[in-house]
Structure 1
Amino acid sequence: MGLVIAEAGLRLASPAASLPWPEYVPQLNAGEHHLVDEAMRAGLTHTGGEVFRVLLERWLSTHVRQISTTPAPLADLMTVLADEVRERRPVRRVADPACGTGTLLLAAARQWSAREPVRLTGCDIDPVLGRLAAARLALAVGHEQVEITAADTLRDAPDAGVQADVILCNPPANERDWGHAELATDRRWLFGQPPRTESELAWVQHVASVLAEDGAAVVLLPPAVASRRAGRRIRAGLLRAGALQAVVALPPGAAPPYGVGLHLWVLRAANASRGQGRVLLVDAADCRHTPTEGGTQVVDWDGLEERVSAALRGDDPPGVVTVPVVDLLGEETDLTPARHVPPAVAISGVELSRSWARFDHALVAVRDAGQALRPLASVHPPQARTVVSVGELEAADAVALMSGGPFPDGALRRGPRPDHGVPVLMTAHLGEGQGEQWWMAADDVERGERERELTVTSFGDIVVVTTFTEFDAWVESSAPVVLGPHLQRLRVDPERLDPWFLAACLRVRFNARQAGTHASVSSRVDVRRLRALRLPIDEQRRYGAIHRQLVEFERAAAGLSAISGALSGTLSELLAVGQIGTE
């Protein structure tokens, strides 16, 4: 299907052209050619670029766990860095030796093609991804400026002899079978043969070998490459030759894997006159927006670009230091910016006052919620009560159960959720404080709910997590939400059951233990075996109101914990750098 989409994109880019079919790409069959024709007909009513974009996004969302792409904001940042390093000189050729679907080359086209025609050359070991990149770039700048090859860059070196003005690269990480043995005497290893465990440094040296004399390269790497002992000798060689100009530590969430703060290495062609100079280290891990109510932090791309650009221009923004090469050479040659940037706490008196104001507000909220609950007392001896199971309530039509399940192919999206997006809840991501959001388009949700392929909550529904370790139950107040596997939706008859009262009964741990299967380590909770008190509706509502107060108390306490922790951390940092005093 990827080749079908690629062929459609290439034909939409040049409908009249007869494009050669590479030998390394499998031929399409009659049915697949019919799909290409359907895409061409869609291009008559929509722009070709829009048709291809929608098809590519759907295909990538289907393979979201197998194919990792560079986010567009990061790609744009990498082009800005390269432009700053080259002092905005003309760019004639941009290369990406691990181009994937061409995101970095597309960013390069946006950055430089408006000034003058730019030759975009790329390579990827996967012919499907390479073909998609060729189509994507052809739609953006035309076939004449694009040259994409399918090959193993390290083993085959298809771009040997190419001198690129700019190289942008997000190479594969943590590879073991990259050709360590057969490439032992390769001429590209100017700074030493990379160990088997240092495939990333093989990519770095390859990039340096095809860089023009006045060129610049920006490479995205895991943070461990800057400090692993096995690569110390190669890092030292890069420093001595003046090939490594800067290392930028990005905030977590900038690119997959989203929980890791990756690094950008800025490279120049080896030059003896630049050797033994200085290296710019930028720690931009704090360039994130304020956490949202759900705890998610989003990368502050504007702030990140401003800090890095200012550092390259020679300014002195926070989190930046220029270190002499001689100070980095040693037993470790550790290039991690956070270990060299001097500690500085950029917080003003006004910001500190605002932090204390938030703390006071949270403290009042906890106190008010606690005072509302303080009159409650335990009744001894307990009153005799009868219980009823959820299964019995379902049989009596007092509650309707519906299980969450798998999602339609291509419907699940990952990334910042737009206004029209519907959030998706999965047990694997419960409690995550950071990372990308999962969501679906509103049209897909409406269609899936209509065809009973999706379980979507409404305001007042009860959601139950059926895995024993994450077991919980709550009343949904931010509907709609699409539920994934191991989640159950309980929709009650409000004339017979109060949802807040029922959720209070279901969520207690001893209820889960009694209803658990205990068949394996990953035991499940049978929702129909969960039990609740049998009470009149008026008494249910009174208990439900108390449960609402308990939920408010929990949220207020969690908010106070988060705010007090952040405030304590800020004061500790001020104390550690000698910037604290009393008024």
Structure 2
Amino acid sequence: MSTTGSVPVSLAEIARIAGVGRAAVSNWRRRHDSFPTRIGGTDVSPQFSLAEVERWLRDNGKLDSIGGRELLWPRFEVLGSRDESGLAVAEAAHRMRAPRARSSRVGLSPEAERLAIEAAKLGRKEGARETFEFLLQRWLETHVRQLSTTPPPLAALMARIGFDVRVGGPDEEVTVFDPACGTGHLAAAAVQEYAGPGLRVMACERDPALAALAAARLEFVADGHGLRTEIATADALREDPFAGVRADVALCNPPFNERDWGYEELATDQRWTYGLPPRTEPELAWVQHLLAHLEPGGAAVVVLPPAVASRKAGRRIRGSLLRTGALRAVVALPPGSAQPHSVSLQLWILRAAPDGPGAAPPGQDALLIDATRFAQTGGRESGPSWEPLRAFVLSALQALDHSDADLPDGAVRVPLIELLDDEVDVTPGRYTSVGTEPSGLELSAVWKEVGSALTGLARRAERLSELEFGNDRPQTTVGVGDLVKAGALSLRAGQQPLDGAVASGGDTVPLLTVADLLADGTPGGLVPVESAPVIAEKGDVVVAGVVRAFKAWVHEGPPTALGPQLHALRVNPAKLDAHFLAGCLRAPSNGRQAGTHASSSSRVDIRRLQVLQLPLDEQAAYADVFRSLRDFETRLANADGMGRGLVNDVSDLLATGGLDV
């Protein structure tokens, strides 16, 4: 039987296994001669034997309160491929529920099969569903750059919309359909949102590993819900495994911008009742695929990129969807609702014409809902404020079939005569930009949020004002170039990616450039891993070496490729504290002294930047203050943004005579 001896683990993984911070593991390594020796990696990012680490942790009483899941996961990571590790997790879930069952997966290696059996035993001991969810989540995090998932709050909202919008009375069994189910987020949300007597889920996924994980997830979700499931592994557009089957609710987060979706071989397909989708409009093929699988009165909710609402190539199909009443509503979501997080995605809400009474006839107005204002404001959170967003969208959709019902601000009914022009643009923001001023209740909430932010700023300002500065001893500095020579850090200069094209498959990483820093600081593109000469990892210090964007910070996000004039500094933790280094480097006077001052585009010589010479324990005290100062700066900027937005909203209301005098 295979052991864990050849499985490598990093310091971060050891910290997760032991339930401590990475700094604690570094301390163990320095203080205990018995700590396992490095078997691979580098001095900065060493790797150790999992078996030796487990033995050392047990011998030193470091595993008393930690379960076996963290010890198990590194073995899944070294199976060799995303697909095999995913199939092994699915097989483990299958065996957790049916211990004596034969393998449900074909093609697993002997090591993957043995690992699935061990994981199943652990799951039966520590909780089958909890163990599966842990392994699934770790698998998704490991392969996040290769996968696109639907966040649970968005999945729940889509399921709720589908059940609310469908026309029809209570059935003995309601059928939910998802032709691109991934790992089953939408199907699982539908089960949680449904309160009827019986539910049938039909789903399809062309990736075998994702299909297996979706089936495993639904097996656990089905407990106590009277659920019947059928998961097919196929390309739903090219080889529809559910041809002729009709569903009450269809939910889908399809792949975006896929040009090779089957345009040539599907040109005469009977699903294109609203028009043949152009080669450049695969999303409209998915829309019609969903409609083709709906029962009369059935509803479909699909996530789409915003360009689908306005691209010229799709205007004929959009017009046909509107004229027939199939496209009932469009919801514009805040950026960060789902991948890609920088885009304001949309929900298209569709409905098949009912056979009998109960819904408005074709030719009705379309409901356009702009929910982009529910983005997070202030703090470090990203993505929407889900609870108020959900309440707003569901409230607006209550008026879908009632033309005389009042609509909340941000939602508007648009007559077809206005939509069916030369553009057939159904972008909500185009029609809701007027008359969407916040209500008094919303303004009151924002005032409280601004007040809370200012109170927090005042407290932090008071603490920072208590810092004492003195010149009781001379302080010496050392240049970054000298620190590199001394082995205290390594310096790598960012470059233009070797290949400007974004990879159509395989691993990609975000690309950060100086232009991105001057905008909003968010990476503006993706590049293949093999095309990125320099990638900043978590814990690296990143420095922008140009005067107009000079700054330094400790990178905390996912691995990110660095463009020209950006530099990655990786510290030796035995000699330098990363936050101390970043704080010293980002001092404005430091940048001025190392720059050429010829113009705002002048470069900063990174090697000339100066760093205080202090013992490691004193660096920690400086690092804490630098972090506090950075936090104060971030909160100050957020409060400024909230305050300016509040002033603008109140000014708009005053200018329209909104003051109650």
TM-score when scaled to structure 1?
0.72
- Does the alignment pair 1:348 with 2:429? no
- Does the alignment pair 1:116 with 2:223? no
Q: Which amino acid aligns with 1:321?
A: V
Structure 2 CA distance for aligned equivalents of residues 44 and 472 of structure 1: 51
Indicate conservation of the 8 Å contact 2:409/2:435, yes or no. no
Q: Which of 257, 277, 283 lines up with 2:364 in the alignment?
A: 277
Q: 1:408-427 residue pairs with structure 2 within 5 A?
A: none
CA RMSD of aligned residues (A): 4.6
Indicate conservation of the 8 Å contact 1:402/1:455, yes or no. no
Q: 1:546-561 residue pairs with structure 2 within 5 A?
A: 558=637, 561=640
Relative to 1, partners in 2 of residues 1:31 and 1:484: Cα closer, same or farther, differing over 3 Å? closer
- Does the alignment pair 1:331 with 2:413? no
Structure 2 CA distance for aligned equivalents of residues 223 and 242 of structure 1: 20
Indicate conservation of the 8 Å contact 1:511/1:531, yes or no. no
**Residue 10 of structure 1: aligned partner:** 94
Indicate conservation of the 8 Å contact 2:198/2:227, yes or no. no
Q: Which amino acid aligns with 1:185?
A: T
In the TM superposition, what is the alpha-carbon distance from 1:488 to its structure 2 partner?
A: 4.2
In the TM superposition, what is the alpha-carbon distance from 1:435 to its structure 2 partner?
A: 8.1
Relative to 1, partners in 2 of residues 1:63 and 1:56: Cα closer, same or farther, differing over 3 Å? same
In the TM superposition, what is the alpha-carbon distance from 1:279 to its structure 2 partner?
A: 1.5
Deviations 1:233-290 (A, max 9, x none): 1111111111111111111111111111111111111459721112211111112343
- Does the alignment pair 1:570 with 2:660? no
In the TM superposition, what is the alpha-carbon distance from 1:109 to its structure 2 partner?
A: 1.2
Q: Secondary structure at the match of 2:412?
A: strand
Q: Which amino acid aligns with 1:9?
A: A
Question: Structure 1 residues 65-74 or 501-510, which shifts more?
Answer: 501-510
In the TM superposition, what is the alpha-carbon distance from 1:343 to its structure 2 partner?
A: 2.5
- Does the alignment pair 1:165 with 2:248? yes
Structure 2 CA distance for aligned equivalents of residues 249 and 123 of structure 1: 26
Q: Which amino acid aligns with 2:114?
A: H
In the TM superposition, what is the alpha-carbon distance from 1:508 to its structure 2 partner?
A: 2.5
Q: Secondary structure at the match of 1:39?
A: helix
Indicate conservation of the 8 Å contact 1:386/1:533, yes or no. yes
TM-score when scaled to structure 2?
0.64
Q: Secondary structure at the match of 1:156?
A: coil
**Residue 300 of structure 1: aligned partner:** 385
**Residue 530 of structure 1: aligned partner:** 609
Q: Secondary structure at the match of 1:508?
A: helix
In the TM superposition, what is the alpha-carbon distance from 1:569 to its structure 2 partner?
A: 3.3
Relative to 1, partners in 2 of residues 1:464 and 1:513: Cα closer, same or farther, differing over 3 Å? farther
Q: Secondary structure at the match of 1:245?
A: strand
Structure 2 CA distance for aligned equivalents of residues 243 and 482 of structure 1: 42
In the TM superposition, what is the alpha-carbon distance from 1:386 to its structure 2 partner?
A: 8.8
Indicate conservation of the 8 Å contact 1:98/1:170, yes or no. yes
Indicate conservation of the 8 Å contact 1:403/1:455, yes or no. no
**Residue 139 of structure 1: aligned partner:** 220
Relative to 1, partners in 2 of residues 1:504 and 1:137: Cα closer, same or farther, differing over 3 Å? closer
- Does the alignment pair 1:242 with 2:330? no
- Does the alignment pair 1:95 with 2:177? yes
Structure 1 CA distance for aligned equivalents of residues 110 and 628 of structure 2: 64
Q: Which amino acid aligns with 1:344?
A: T
Structure 2 CA distance for aligned equivalents of residues 225 and 30 of structure 1: 46
Relative to 1, partners in 2 of residues 1:319 and 1:135: Cα closer, same or farther, differing over 3 Å? same
Answer 1 or 2: higher relative contact order, Cα 8 Å, separation at least 6.
1
Structure 2 CA distance for aligned equivalents of residues 316 and 204 of structure 1: 26
**Residue 206 of structure 2: aligned partner:** 125
Q: Which amino acid aligns with 1:115?
A: G
Indicate conservation of the 8 Å contact 1:251/1:287, yes or no. yes
Structure 1 CA distance for aligned equivalents of residues 627 and 141 of structure 2: 38
Q: Secondary structure at the match of 2:150?
A: coil
Deviations 1:413-472 (A, max 9, x none): xxxxxxxxxxxx997897896989xxxxxxxxxxxxxxxxx986xxxxxx8424535653
Question: Structure 1 residues 209-218 or 464-473, which shifts more?
Answer: 464-473
Question: Structure 1 residues 61-70 or 297-306, which shifts more?
Answer: 297-306
Indicate conservation of the 8 Å contact 2:484/2:490, yes or no. no
Indicate conservation of the 8 Å contact 1:388/1:534, yes or no. yes
In the TM superposition, what is the alpha-carbon distance from 1:560 to its structure 2 partner?
A: 7.2
Q: Which amino acid aligns with 1:39?
A: A
In the TM superposition, what is the alpha-carbon distance from 1:15 to its structure 2 partner?
A: 2.9
Q: Which amino acid aligns with 2:437?
A: V
Indicate conservation of the 8 Å contact 2:591/2:604, yes or no. no
Q: Secondary structure at the match of 2:177?
A: strand
Q: Which of 32, 35, 41 lines up with 2:112 in the alignment?
A: 32
Structure 2 CA distance for aligned equivalents of residues 524 and 31 of structure 1: 52
Q: Secondary structure at the match of 2:299?
A: strand
Q: Secondary structure at the match of 1:277?
A: coil
Percent identity between matched residues is 41
Structure 1 CA distance for aligned equivalents of residues 393 and 260 of structure 2: 34
In the TM superposition, what is the alpha-carbon distance from 1:214 to its structure 2 partner?
A: 2.5
Indicate conservation of the 8 Å contact 1:359/1:560, yes or no. no
Structure 1 CA distance for aligned equivalents of residues 128 and 264 of structure 2: 46
- Does the alignment pair 1:106 with 2:188? yes
Structure 2 CA distance for aligned equivalents of residues 552 and 251 of structure 1: 25
Q: Which amino acid aligns with 1:49?
A: R
Relative to 1, partners in 2 of residues 1:434 and 1:284: Cα closer, same or farther, differing over 3 Å? farther
Q: Secondary structure at the match of 1:116?
A: coil
Indicate conservation of the 8 Å contact 1:245/1:280, yes or no. yes
Q: Which amino acid aligns with 1:218?
A: V
- Does the alignment pair 1:47 with 2:132? no
Relative to 1, partners in 2 of residues 1:75 and 1:507: Cα closer, same or farther, differing over 3 Å? farther
- Does the alignment pair 1:224 with 2:314? no
Q: Secondary structure at the match of 1:286?
A: helix
Structure 1 CA distance for aligned equivalents of residues 215 and 420 of structure 2: 42
Q: Which of 248, 259, 270 lines up with 1:176 in the alignment?
A: 259
Q: Secondary structure at the match of 2:300?
A: strand
Structure 1 CA distance for aligned equivalents of residues 263 and 396 of structure 2: 36
Deviations 1:204-254 (A, max 9, x none): 001000101121111111111111111111111111111111111111111
Q: 1:245-394 residue pairs with structure 2 within 5 A?
A: 245-270=328-353, 274-292=361-379, 294=380, 296-314=381-399, 315-341=406-432, 342-348=434-440, 351=444, 354=447, 388-390=478-480
Structure 2 CA distance for aligned equivalents of residues 38 and 552 of structure 1: 44
- What is the number of residues matched between the two proteins? 494
